[in-house]
A and B are shown apart, each in its own frame.
Chain A
Amino acid sequence: MSAEDVLLVGCCLRGEPGAVQELIERFQSNVFGLCVRLLRHRQDAEDVTQEVFLRVFRSLKRWDSTRSLKPWIMGITVNRCRTWLSQRARRPELIAYLQDTAASPAADGSAELAREIQLAVEELRLEYQSVFVMFHEQGQPYEAIAEALGKPVGTIKTWLRRARLEVLDRLRRRGMISEVDDELP
């Protein structure tokens, strides 16, 4: 819990536009980044991000002020993405543009490798993807991820280890790892 979060939420509950905008700006990159990785479509990710913030503000009264705000918002994000994915699976006409991912890094060597990693991550199951993106791309600690996903820290560690091994395995099968280095670290 942070006193700053409590103050900000109090102002948001009073309907102060400045506080509302500040809260959105504070979390929008994390929320949108996770949505893009999980949904693999920029427009869908924008829609879900908007939906996430609407839900956050609608249920802000129910936020437990003894806990951090960020894991709570990230938990809502993962849940909305999961719901969106299940709805999208029932609409086959949308499958065609699933690979329209937002960030297309430059085509140099490291960027290409990073892109390959992202593709490998996209093939993971949703829980592994969430954990991997929140830890490796957003730099969130285990405790925050565990709180967001409502799982014990041990489970999150196990998921992350499995996710890494799967990603490495896929990179190796694509011939990406041998290009990195064969020298000792």
Chain B
Amino acid sequence: MNCLECQDLLQRRLDGEAVIISPAMRQHLVACPSCRVLHASAQVFLGDLRSVPAPALAGDFSQRMTVIVLRDRRQRKRLRLVATVALAASLLIMALAGYFVSGPGPVAKVNIEKMRIDHPDQLPHLALSVDDTRQALASLSERWADRAREQAKNFLAAAKPIDIPGVDFLQDMAEPLEPAAQSLQQAGQGVAESLQPVTTSAGKALAYLLRDLPVPVFDKGS
């Protein structure tokens, strides 16, 4: 038996197992003073240590502790109740605040009416507003018309053989086309012919719109 085996037996003995000292172990203990001292001291752990009285609390500790625990339980219950009520109240306040702050529609209308009666000069002039609207509409229409014109020019460039009066510069492109280009050209012609009534109608509609817009009357004094 060696020291490692001997220490293992010692640990088992300290774990509470009934270890029988074999002749081999006895022989090792005789030969090894270190292991002999360890085994002798094991009695300290097994006997003397448990004989030491455990530190004791005051006699009325459990009663005092019971009072503290029950009081703590009541306080926590009360705290939970208060927290729940506070949460509900804060939610209610937030809901009411949201309703009164973010819903002022009728109040604003009344204010505008009142302002119109009390301070008519401070209101924006209707003619100016109409003029601004007309200009914005005209510029928007003009932009769309320019875009349509550009696209029509592109189609017309592709549809070269069409004889369009007043567009003489296209006549110069007289070189022969390949079959694929010819079919593209024919397609372009078709699109141009179908677009022509549309562009005409759009032009007329724009003219009518511009003609029918009211002429703004500017207030000289304002």
Contacts and interface: CB of A to CB of B under 8 A. Distances in A.
B40 A182 contact: yes
B6 to A, nearest CB: 12
B30 A184 contact: yes
A29 B54 contact: yes
B184 interface: no
B129 interface: no
Given A53-B65, A113-B44, A117-B44, A136 B26 contact: no
A111 B47 CA distance: 11
A3 B70 CA distance: 24
B62 A25 contact: yes
Given A36-B55, A114-B48, A185-B21, A50 B68 contact: yes
A157 B11 CA distance: 10
A43 B53 CA distance: 18
A24 B65 contact: yes
A33 interface: yes
A58 B76 contact: yes
Contacts of A110: 48, 51
Q: Chain A: interface secondary structure?
A: helix
Interface string B19-46: 0010000100110000011111111110
Contacts of A164: 11, 14, 45
Interface residues of B, number: 39
B14 A15 contact: no
B69 to A, nearest CB: 5
B72 interface: yes
Interface band, chain A = 35 or more
B66 A29 contact: no
Given A21-B63, A110-B48, A137-B54, A184 B26 contact: yes
B61 A54 contact: no
B41 A42 contact: no
Interface string A146-185: 0000000000010001001100100110000110111111
B55 A50 contact: no
Contacts of A92: none
Contacts of A17: 66, 70
Interface of A: 15, 17, 20-21, 24-25, 28-29, 32-33, 36, 42, 45-46, 49-50, 53-54, 57-58, 102-103, 105, 110-111, 113-115, 117-118, 136-139, 157, 161, 164-165, 168, 171-172, 177-178, 180-185
Report the 9 A-B pairs with minimum CB-CB distance, sorted nearest first. Answer: A102-B55, A114-B52, A181-B40, A21-B66, A103-B55, A36-B55, A24-B62, A110-B48, A25-B62
